[in-house]
Structure 1
Amino acid sequence: MDLRQMEVVVAVAEEGGFSAAARRLHIVQSAVSGTVRTLERELGAPLFHRTTHRVSLTAAGAAFLPAAQATLRAAEEARAAVDLAQGELRGEITIGVMQGLYAGLAPALAGFHREHPGVTVRLRQKPAGRIPQCLRDGVLDLAVAALDATQLRGLTTRLLAREEMVLVSAPGPAPARAAADRPVRTLAETERPVTTLAEVARLPVVGFPPGWAIRQAVDRTFRTASLEYSATFEVNDIMAAADLVRHGLGVSIMPPSMAAWFPELPTRPFAAHAPTWTLRLVHTRAEQPPAVTALLRHIG
């Protein structure tokens, strides 16, 4: 058994398939399959259930995966220690992010890269709900995400920003049709500099999937207010949401930092009880590799 075999198995497990693992590792799929079969013969147990449509871990694979991930991290830390002793940082850092980057992240990465050009940084978009477990499993080294305090047990956090979300609408009148059991209310009828949750509840909304930080904050706020809203469209991309809003298919609720990407779309704050998200820098409490420690100093 060697590190390369472990790397291939980890890639298959994390990417959910042999083709995706091959793309991640920049090798052909047959090499991935062959490496996994060789290791399975060596271990005397199958690591994956293989079907036409999906690949999943067997019990043996589930036992093997965390040990392999820990071994790969240890090997990376050993290489990083040698590089540090020679006065140069190398290695890889994987950062979990949501749709849309925290405004301070790109400048921080630019400064870090100027100081440590030998470190490869990978950004991985993930739903906010999955990020804490990915950190605990070692899939991510750190994350910049909007997470609730209940999701942060066992993790170290640093506050980066707190935003009250705003209503984003089309430049013209609001959509002409709401849910069948709600009276239609156009934005022109409520043409005030602010809006309310009750007004939004009577409009069709372009929303986001469960697990997204925006969705979590919006759902929580409406539940607290004993209100329901109608998600006429659900998308997993901020750009797509803005495009649907632009064509009059609904309004959307976003953090102002994201709404600012679309200056042609009018925004209005909430008069009270606005959905709020809190952006945090998050990582495990364990001692970090030198490259991660260096990057943490740049993010603030």
Structure 2
Amino acid sequence: MELRTLGYFVAVAETGSVSAAAEVVHVTQPAISRQLRQLETDLGVDLFSRSAGRLRLSAAGREFLPHAQDVLRRAAGARAAAKSYAAGRLESLTIAAPTTTLTDVIAPFLATLHADDPMPTVLESDPHEAYAALRHGADLAIVTEPPRGPLASAAIAVLPVWAFVPAGHRWATQDTIRLRTLVEETLLVLTPGFRPRQILDLALDRAGVSAASVVECSNPQVAQALAAAGRGVAVVTDDARFDLHGLEVQGRDGPLRIELFAAWEPEHHAAATLDALAGRLRDFCVQRYGADVAPR
């Protein structure tokens, strides 16, 4: 059974006659009739009832028609995809990103895409899962450390680790807070699997200090909500919520920062397109947060 023969069957079914189908597919009527007979032989079922030189779909033909149409649509889609691959185009885009990056960076960036950009899909994943996502079909992964191995990558942004306090807090008029002072308060931190927590823990260790009280949160927005309720200071990298005031945290070696990188497989058929999208994402971060977040 060939796609061409299925095309003849669908053309006859949709136009209502062999003569009309012949004009559509640019094949002679006898050739179409022979192909239809061969298709029925191959399938072992009569697709048409023949009477007085006219063809009508049989009950089996009516049942078979949507399957034939689906096969032809899939084949056309496969051909179009192959042409896109050959040209290095990207029809759809799957991005794997951590929760905070997805909410504060990726989603706002997607709102700036153009009509001719690929259709995006986003997978929520932690940075370690992002590498597995690339192996299982994701096109682009956003990670918080320089990508390992043979992956192609681009630096996207360097963002602050914030200490968030409510408006009435004694630090609410400041722009920065020293780590040694910060630990005097109850710290609302993420669990150790999150990169902002790892950055904080490393900074505490290097400064030789520890927090007087720590409350772990599994979600950065929950940490901010608790800070808004006066339960402590949220140490996260999210954009401010709940009318909180953010202070940059100054550690022994300078302000605490988190880096964002885009990573992709260098053999990806649209590697050049992914590189360009990573550049646009970097420019978007600069527009959104200011020139200070540009990678150096």
**TM-score exceeds 0.5:** yes
Residue 115 of structure 1: aligned partner: 116
Contact 1:96 1:125 in 2 (8 A): yes
C-alpha distance 121-77 of structure 1, shift in aligned 2 (>3 A) = farther
Matched, 1:270 2:266: no
C-alpha distance 82-281 of structure 1, shift in aligned 2 (>3 A) = same
The offset of 1:104, in angstroms, is 5.9
Residue 35 of structure 1: aligned partner: none
Taking the aligned partners of 2:274 and 2:105, their CA distance within structure 1 comes to 13
Unmatched runs of 5 consecutive residues or more in structure 1: 1-75, 174-186
| Structure of higher CA gyration radius | 2
TM-score by length of 2: 0.56
For 1:153, which of 134, 146, 149 is the aligned residue?
A: 149
Q: Find the residue that maps to 1:114 and give its secondary structure.
A: coil
Residue 130 of structure 1: aligned partner: 129
Taking the aligned partners of 1:223 and 1:86, their CA distance within structure 2 comes to 51
Residue 65 of structure 1: aligned partner: none
The offset of 1:245, in angstroms, is 0.7
The offset of 1:131, in angstroms, is 2.4
Contact 1:127 1:213 in 2 (8 A): no
C-alpha distance 107-165 of structure 1, shift in aligned 2 (>3 A) = closer
Taking the aligned partners of 1:78 and 1:197, their CA distance within structure 2 comes to 58
Unmatched runs of 5 consecutive residues or more in structure 2: 1-76, 280-296
The offset of 1:208, in angstroms, is 0.9
Count residues with an aligned counterpart: 200
The offset of 1:158, in angstroms, is 0.8
Residue 297 of structure 1: aligned partner: 276
The offset of 1:212, in angstroms, is 1.4
Contact 2:179 2:204 in 1 (8 A): yes
Residue 264 of structure 2: aligned partner: 283
RMSD: 3.4
The offset of 1:275, in angstroms, is 1.9
The offset of 1:248, in angstroms, is 0.8
Taking the aligned partners of 2:131 and 2:89, their CA distance within structure 1 comes to 30
Residue 97 of structure 2: aligned partner: 97
TM-score by length of 1: 0.56
The within-5 A match list for 1:15-26 is none
Structure 1 runs, 4 residues or longer, greater than 6 Å off: 76-79, 85-88
For each residue in 1:172-205, what CA deviation from the matched residue of structure 2 results, as whole angstroms up to 9, or x when unmatched? 34xxxxxxxxxxxxx46x9755321112222111
The within-5 A match list for 1:166-205 is 166-173=162-169, 187=170, 193-205=175-187
Identity of aligned residues (%): 19
For each residue in 1:243-298, what CA deviation from the matched residue of structure 2 results, as whole angstroms up to 9, or x when unmatched? 1110011101233xx33x3272122223443321111111223x1133x6434423
C-alpha distance 251-111 of structure 1, shift in aligned 2 (>3 A) = closer
Taking the aligned partners of 1:295 and 1:269, their CA distance within structure 2 comes to 32
Taking the aligned partners of 1:274 and 1:113, their CA distance within structure 2 comes to 36
